[in-house]
Chain A
Amino acid sequence: MATSQPPLRFTGHKNLVHRLVLATLTGRTVHISQIRSSSPTNPGLAPHEISFLRLLESVTNGSEMEISYTGTILVYKPGLITGSAAGHGTSGGFIRHELPAGCTRGVSYFLVPLCLLAPFSKSPMKVTFTGPGVITSATPAGDLSVDSVRTAILPLYNQFGIFNNIELRVLRRSNIGAHGKGGAGEVQLVFGHQVRLPKTLHLLNPGRIKKIRGVAYSVGVAASNNARMIEVARGVLNPLVPDTYIFSDVSSAPLVPAPERNNASAKKKFGLGFGLSLVAESSTGCFFSADVVSPPSGGQPPEDIGKNCAYQLLETIAKGGCVPPAAASTMVTLMTMGSEDVSRLQIGRAVIADENLIQVARDLSKFGAPGWGIRDAAGENEDGDVIISVVGRGIGNVGRKVA
């Protein structure tokens, strides 16, 4: 690996996770400074970012990371992506990754970047997320729910020829705990399809939405909440898509140890609430997802959640193109990691006019990827979609090349 190259320098905490993923994929050392350095209360890396670094450490071999005393500077020298190879802290083939109780981000915050690394791993990526910080629902911090990752993000890998043995199991559901911190869920990711290079993508037809699937989840609360969310959401969506089916998942709340003075083994219920995940699939295999969850403070009726989620889905579809904003960085990263060929993707104007995606584009070019070509989509282009052409780096799977 090219270790003689000087580290790439970045500033700020924006896009931190994606930068770390790119660093790992390209094998470049990164130096990130001024991480929340202007914040008087919480300078430096946040707990969830530290958790992600730990996750990176456990799925790679030979990664080195240095964090400055204040946590505002991070130097990360990536190693090989090994996945859950035997002898690297795996038990029963699975890497256990524990998230601490103070975690405010949903588990999708870790899952989506981990899935980006997985196709390029040396051995299958099998990770169990557990611990008092695993939130499987969507969060007010803007994370997807596990259900949306499973039904809207993972199928995207299909388009890149990555489809075998990919599974995301929700072993225990959890909503956000009190004060928006922690859950106590358990999620298992199996990503068993490793490739040399992802296929070149040509996704230029958004198709038409043919069906909507969804999952309504109630954790530790009455199942009628699900029925109420589903009814309202269907009321909005049914006139547009008769093929709408929303599953209802009711589970009891996870019990977490809460020792009291008189009773050291006392437990309490944690992470109660309900939420809705909706995924629209188009005839050409494009997925649009929406997620709304009850706030940790409560006080929002399930009807509102169902209604908001349905409207959010319509809004996401209305943004046009073949990918929703939540999946855009996954798509362009996989396109960049593909063979040295031009892949094309039709994307909505409102999706590309997104701070995050522009930052992703800049980061990619800093990591040595050629700039995107952007042009107006041809044909009957009423939504004003654009087509981005991304040239692959052809670096693909370093671990697989030497293996």
Chain B
Amino acid sequence: LRGKRPAFRVTDLSRMMYDDTISPFDVIRRWSGQDQDDENDEENEDDEDDDDAFLKKTNAEQEDQSDYRAIPEYDYEELERKWRDEEMIESLRKRFVTARLSGNDGD
């Protein structure tokens, strides 16, 4: 691999989407570039173990048992921390009609 390829490239997804040799879980990891982060982190293996301990466990044991979820499992403490932030709220505001727009694009 030459350096770091950009994550979330649409062409990458189209290529992997229907490739049955890659599991959907890996498709997402590769597309979001998480697998590269892991490769880079390979030297400090301990670090990675700490970070991904939860993910790995899901993968090995729970992956087999996991059932379809319409609502993913969220870490609500994490969510709260994220959305308490005024800046996050303001960055989301453009998705709401309350957003003040300089030009009115009238939808």
Contacts and interface: CB of A to CB of B under 8 A. Distances in A.
Interface of A: 13-18, 36, 38-39, 46, 105, 108-109, 112, 138, 141-144, 205-210, 236, 239-242, 283-284, 290-291, 304, 307-308, 311-312, 314-315, 317-318, 320, 325-326, 349, 352-356, 358-359, 361-362, 365, 371-376, 382, 384, 386
B1 interface: no
B89 A239 contact: yes
B73 interface: yes
Contacts of A105: 67
B72 A376 contact: no
Contacts of B67: 13, 46, 105, 141-142
Interface class of chain A by DSSP: mixed
Interface in B63-87: 64-65, 67-74, 76, 79-80, 82-83
Nearest to B11: A374
Contact of A241 (B69, B94, B98): B98
A281 to B, nearest CB: 11
B3 to A, nearest CB: 22
Given A14-B68, A371-B17, A207 B107 contact: yes
B17 A355 contact: no
Interface of B: 8, 10, 13-14, 17-18, 20, 24-25, 27-28, 31-32, 64-65, 67-74, 76, 79-80, 82-83, 89, 92-99, 107
A384 B79 contact: no
Contact of A144 (B13, B14, B18, B71): B71
Contact of A371 (B18, B25, B92): B18
A39 B61 CA distance: 10
Given A142-B70, A284-B107, A375-B10, A358 B28 contact: yes
B83 A315 contact: yes
B97 A365 contact: no
Given A307-B80, A354-B28, A355-B28, A362 B74 contact: no
A280 to B, nearest CB: 9
B23 to A, nearest CB: 8
